[in-house]
Structure 1
Amino acid sequence: MLGGIFIIMAFYLLGECIAWLLNGFVPGSVLGMMLLFGALSLRWVSPDRVRPVARFLCNNMAFFFLPAGVGIITSMDVLSRYWDIVLVVGTVTTLLVLVVVATLQQWQENRRHSGVK
């Protein structure tokens, strides 16, 4: 399990370093997840090494939403002023994520059924 923690933290650190080089254009945690996904897809990292840590993090994901919830509560004055923009942006980005994820999932399913690895 310690090896899995090290792998996940190494990719997080690598993502943060790249984000620093890009002046924070993309968050480091997102870059780290993308890099870890690429390493898992290319089989540079064994899924069995990170699976126990990933399960633990997913099972306790509610704790990661606490800081975001506190941030929303402390920003209620800004949100109440721009609620319409926040609502439109939230709706559009949610729909965009749904379409992209559905398209990628369909592509992966088609690849799996055609026998391509």
Structure 2
Amino acid sequence: MIDALLGILLFQLIGEVLSRGLNLPVPGPVVGMLLLFAVLRWRGGPPEALSNTAHGILSHLPLLFVPAGVGVMVHLPLLAREGAPLLAAIVGSTSITLLITGLTVHWLRRRK
């Protein structure tokens, strides 16, 4: 398990170094995840240790939301003050994303 976790963190580190070194507009962990995905596809799938470690991490995923929930509670007055613009931004960006995704799928289906 430690070896698999070390491998995951190593890919995150490599992604961070590449992202900062090449001044990419993509966060380092995303670059690392893409590199890990490419290596796993090239090898034909994840090794058993990595698969078990990933399942272990995912089984405890709700714990990762605790800091976000605490952050919301700490900044509740700010959220009350800025809630309407935040809600408008979230609803607006989600609507635009859904619209563009739908139009893209429609265009791709028509093209096929």
Q: TM-score scaled by structure 1?
A: 0.62
The answer for the alignment partner of 1:53 in structure 2 is 53
Give a deviation string over 1:54-97, Cα, whole Å, max 9, x none. Answer: 00010000111111111122222322222123223333248738
**48-57 or 72-81: which moved more?**
72-81
> How many residue pairs end up in the alignment?
99
**What's the CA shift for 1:19?**
4.2
Give unpaired runs (5+ residues) of structure 1: 104-117
Larger of the two Rg values belongs to structure? 2
Partner Cα separation in structure 1 for residue 69 and residue 86 of structure 2:
15
User: Percent identical across equivalent pairs?
Assistant: 31
The answer for the alignment partner of 2:3 in structure 1 is 3
Report 1:64-103 matches (<5 A).
64-91=64-91, 92-93=93-94, 96=97, 99=101
Matched, 1:29 2:29: yes
Partner Cα separation in structure 1 for residue 24 and residue 71 of structure 2:
19
The answer for the alignment partner of 2:38 in structure 1 is 38
Give unpaired runs (5+ residues) of structure 2: 106-112
What RMSD over aligned residues (CA atoms) do the two structures have, in Å? 3.1
**66-75 or 28-37: which moved more?**
28-37
Q: Call closer, same or farther: CA 1:11–1:75 in 2, change over 3 Å.
A: same
Counterpart residue identity of residue 15, structure 2: G
Q: Call closer, same or farther: CA 1:30–1:74 in 2, change over 3 Å.
A: farther
